[in-house]
Amino acid sequence: MSTTSGTSPGWHGDILLLGRILIGGIFVQSGFDKLMGLDAFATGLAARGLPAALAPVLASIGASVEFFGGLAIVFGVMTRCAALVMIVFLIVATLISHRFWVLQGAERRTQTVQFAKNVAIIGGFFFLFVTGGGRYCLDRWWRSTE
C-alpha cells in the first residue's frame, strides 16, 4: 500500500529519523565547537555589533541552544518544541551573522547564500514541527512506556 505521495507508509519513520539526524547533526557539531571555544564565539558576536558586555552571555546561550536543540532533534526529544526553539534560534543567528544587505561584492554573495541556506533549514524545522519525530524518537518510546 502506498500513500498519495508515492512512498510506502513503512518508510516514513525511517525517513524522519534520517532527516532528524541530518538536520540536527549539524547543530550538534557546530554547537559543540562553539561551547569548546566560547571566548572566540563571544568575540565574534561582539565583532558583529553585539554589546561586548553581553556577548559572553549570549555566546553561552546561543551555543547551548544550538548544541542541546540539535541533540533534541536527533534523538526526537520534545521534537515539536525543539523545532520551534531551533526556528527562533536560526532567525536570530541568521540576522546576526548573515547580514548580506550591509556587505558588498563577493562577501555579499557569500552571506546571501548563507542567509538562504538558513532560511531553507528553517523550512526543514517547520516540517519537523508539523510531523513530529516519527516512529523512531524518544518521545514515542516514552509515551509507550507510560
- Pick the closest to residue 31 from 73, 79, 64, 71 (CA basis): 64
92: Cβ contacts below 8 Å, ≥ 6 apart: 62
Q: What is the pLDDT of residue 138?
A: 87
The ranges assigned to domains in the chain are 9-145
Residue 1 three-state SS: coil
Per-residue pLDDT at 2 exceeds 70: no
Per-residue pLDDT at 145 exceeds 90: no
- What confidence tens digit (pLDDT) does each residue in 107-122 have? 999 999 999 999 999 9
- What confidence tens digit (pLDDT) does each residue in 26-54 have? 999 999 999 999 999 999 999 999 999 99
| The model's pTM | 0.88
- Pick the closest to residue 56 from 100, 118, 109, 64 (CA basis): 64
